[in-house]
């Protein structure tokens, strides 16, 4: 038995949360493996909306176990707030429902201060981060100065660890950013206000737990955050997030062998969006882009920022299929494309007088790439109430078939609305 990985095949916000929620109904364990509260996963059940940032998107199924693995950077105050909101909404979030790796990185208030200070100082060339402290937290982890979750529970050593980290941070705040000093004792005291709430969910060995479940033939779903083109190594660097967002990162974060992840589901929207700076070859800056933005409610669930919109980019999608080893595609938000006379798909780029069909690995080249757009007749039918694929209008089917054929990867799921039941299965991802 092996696990299923759900990752974003574009620039994030593809609808991974909805798909993980749907899959979780037939799964046993849901593992969030990277990112932090920069993510915003929106779930809609019976018309009721829940936005999650850190807690895995399986949490609304109360008989499932959700794990936050070691590769996640955890804003402990944000997480506590998320748990509180779920409890207020009637979910009892027990310690068998939510497990948090002791070895995950603690994201603390000074990471956010540094993230924002750096963005402000950049003026031109801003990355457009979410301001959630993601970069500084991952940086501390790599520099071997981060506090991991287990450190927060050890009150004998916590203060001295904070003092050590803050010595360097305060030198930066004072010397470079003209910001007031942050006192270790203040952070220590703030941590004490949430630590009792988080303690029941502590888990020492996520690797053992996940491996056992896989061995027992249980269904494990790995939930990615952000998207392939925001990957720290393979995305449009430096306009990326600070973690590896691709499927392989699931294996590293949870501590299981790569061969145990065999179903790799690439989630993509029927069009494309991007938040923040960086090249986006299929971007539409005209009224067509504005219509997609409006119809798709393309405003960030974490920051509220308007998302840039464009046609589906097959060059970028094929790159994502290659990087992740995607063997199943989920096309989301197809209903949003209703009402266009024609819909475009980017099939290649024109670059330095040549036509290319492989995504350039240099960000500078991506920014120079001119999209080659193939147009298809649009449709006017409302897709949101359609229950089976065969009922999709002919022009819609042509569009979907073209994408599947060109990407050489089966589209197994199509989503035509935010709710769980607005999901059309071409092939079930789990067999029964
Ligand atoms: P950071 O992850 O906050 O450092 O932001 C780095 C870049 O990734 C920025 O362009 C963000 O807009 C983008 N980003 C981060 N998280 C998400 C996400 O969940 N969806 C879409 N874009 C994201």
Cα atoms in the 13 Å half-sphere on the side-chain side of 48: 6
Q: What is the pLDDT of residue 124?
A: 78
Cα 300 to ligand 1 centre (Å)? 10
**Cα separation, 124 vs 133, whole angstroms:** 20
Residues with CB under 6 A from ligand 1: 12-13, 38-40, 127-130, 132, 134-135, 225-226, 230, 239, 241-242, 275-276
**40 Cα–ligand 1 center, Å:** 10
CA distance 78 to 303: 14
CA of 228 to the centre of ligand 1 (A): 11
Distance 130 CA to ligand 1 centre (A): 6
Please, are residues 136 and 111 in contact by the beta-carbon 8 Å criterion? yes
Please state, in angstroms and as integers, the Cα–Cα distance from residue 47 to each residue in 41, 206, 419, 421, following that order: 15, 34, 7, 10
Write down the pTM of the prediction. 0.96
Strand intervals (E) in 225-298: 261-269, 272-274
Sign of the alpha-carbon dihedral angle for 47, 53, 59, 64: positive
Q: How many angstroms separate the CA atoms of 381 and 306, rounded? A: 26
Q: What CA–CA distance (Å, rounded) separates 129 from 116?
A: 8
Per-residue pLDDT for the chain (432 aa), expressed as one digit of tens each? 679 999 999 999 999 999 999 999 999 999 999 999 999 988 888 888 888 999 999 999 999 999 999 999 999 999 999 999 999 999 989 999 999 999 999 999 999 999 999 999 987 789 999 999 999 999 999 999 999 999 999 999 999 999 999 999 999 999 999 999 999 999 999 999 999 999 999 999 999 999 999 999 999 999 999 999 999 999 999 999 999 999 999 999 999 999 999 899 999 999 999 999 999 999 999 999 999 999 999 998 888 899 999 999 999 999 999 999 999 999 999 999 999 999 999 999 999 999 999 999 999 999 999 999 999 999 999 999 999 999 999 999 999 999 999 999 999 999 999 999 999 999 877 764
Show which residues are catalytic: 13, 41
Q: Is 96 helix (H, G, I), strand (E, B) or coil?
A: coil
- Integer Cα distance of 182 and 172 in angstroms: 11
DSSP bridge pairs for 342: 377
How many angstroms separate the Cα of 42 from the Cα of each of 45, 191, 293, 349?
A: 10, 28, 17, 33
Q: Which residue is closest in CA terms to ligand 1's atom 19?
A: 39
In ligand 1, the atom with minimum distance to the C-alpha of 130 is 3
């Amino acid at each position: 038995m092996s696990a299923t990985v759900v990752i974003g095949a574009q620039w994030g916000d593809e609808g991974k949360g909805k798909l993980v929620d749907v899959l979780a109904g037939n799964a046993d364990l849901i593992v969030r493996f990277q990112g932090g509260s920069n993510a915003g996963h929106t779930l809609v059940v019976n018309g009721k909306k829940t936005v999650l940032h850190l807690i895995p998107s399986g949490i609304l199924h109360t008989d499932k176990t959700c794990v936050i693995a070691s590769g996640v950077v955890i804003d402990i105050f944000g997480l506590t707030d998320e748990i509180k909101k779920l409890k207020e909404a009637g979910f009892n979030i027990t310690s068998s429902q939510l497990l948090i790796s002791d070895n995950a990185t603690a994201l603390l208030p000074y990471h956010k201060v540094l993230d924002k200070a750096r963005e402000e100082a950049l003026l031109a060339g801003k990355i457009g981060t979410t301001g959630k402290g993601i970069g500084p937290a991952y940086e501390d982890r790599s520099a071997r100065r981060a506090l991991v979750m287990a450190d927060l529970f050890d009150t004998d050593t916590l203060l001295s660890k904070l003092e050590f980290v803050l010595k360097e941070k305060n030198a930066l705040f004072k010397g470079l950013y003209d910001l007031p000093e942050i006192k270790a004792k203040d952070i220590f005291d703030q941590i004490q206000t949430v630590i009792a709430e988080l303690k029941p969910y502590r888990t020492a060995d996520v690797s053992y737990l996940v491996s056992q479940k896989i061995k027992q033939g249980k269904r494990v779903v790995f939930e990615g955050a952000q998207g392939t083109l925001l990957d720290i190594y393979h995305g449009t660097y430096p306009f990326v997030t600070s973690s590896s967002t691709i499927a392989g990162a699931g294996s590293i974060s949870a501590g299981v062998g790569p061969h145990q992840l065999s179903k790799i589901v690439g989630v993509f929207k029927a069009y494309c969006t991007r938040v923040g700076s960086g090249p986006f070859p299929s971007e539409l800056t005209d009224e067509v882009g504005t219509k997609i933005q409006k119809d798709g409610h393309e405003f960030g669930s974490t920051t509220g920022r308007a998302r840039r919109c464009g046609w589906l980019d097959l060059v970028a999608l094929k790159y994502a299929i290659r990087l992740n080893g995607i063997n199943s595609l989920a096309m989301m938000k197809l209903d949003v494309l209703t009402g266009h006379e024609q819909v475009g798909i980017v099939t290649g780029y024109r670059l330095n007088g040549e036509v290319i069909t492989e995504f350039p690995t240099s960000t500078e080249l991506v920014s120079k790439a001119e999209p080659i757009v193939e147009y298809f007749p649009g449709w006017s039918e409302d897709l949101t109430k359609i229950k089976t694929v065969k009922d999709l209008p002919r022009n819609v089917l042509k569009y979907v078939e073209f994408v599947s054929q060109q990407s050489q990867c089966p589209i197994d799921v199509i989503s035509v609305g935010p709710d769980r039941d607005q999901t059309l299965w071409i092939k079930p991802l789990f067999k029964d």
